[in-house]
Structure 1
Amino acid sequence: MRIEDIYAAAFGREHLATLLEQLVRSFDAQSGFLACTVPDGAAFQAQFGNDPAWLDLYATRYHQHDILFPRLMQAAEGQCVTAHAMLAEPAVRASVFYRDYLAPMGVVDNLAVNLFKQPGLSAHLALIRRGAVAPFADTDRDRLQALVPHLRRAVYVGSHLSRAIDQMAALRTLVAARGDAVLMLDAQHRVIDHDPAAADLLALRHGEPVRLPALARAIDLARTVGQPVAVELADGVATPLPVLVQVLPVIRDRFADLGDTGGIACIVHLTRLDRPSTIAIGAIAAFYRLTPTEARVLDDVVTHADLIGIGSRLGMARATARTHLHRIYEKTATGGQAALIALAHRFVTISGGDALNR
Structure 2
Amino acid sequence: MAKSPFLESIRLILRTKHYSIQTEKSYLVWIKRFILFNNKRHPKDMGEQEVSLFLTHLAVERRVTSSTQNLALCAIVFMYKHAFNRELTLLDDTVRAKPPKRVPTVLSKEEATLIIDKMKSPYDLMFRLLFGSGMRKAELLRLRIKDIDFAAHSIYVFRGKGRKDRITVLPRSVVDDVKHQIEKVKQVHDKDLADGEGKTSLPSGLARKYPYAITDFKWQYLFPASVRCKHPTDGYYCRHHLHWTALSKVLRAAVREVGIMKHVTAHTFRHSFATQLLLNGVDIRTVQELLGHSDLKTTQIYTHVIGQHSSGVNSPVD
Relative to the length of structure 2, the TM-score reads 0.25
Relative to the length of structure 1, the TM-score reads 0.23
Q: Tell me which structure has the larger Cα radius of gyration.
A: 1
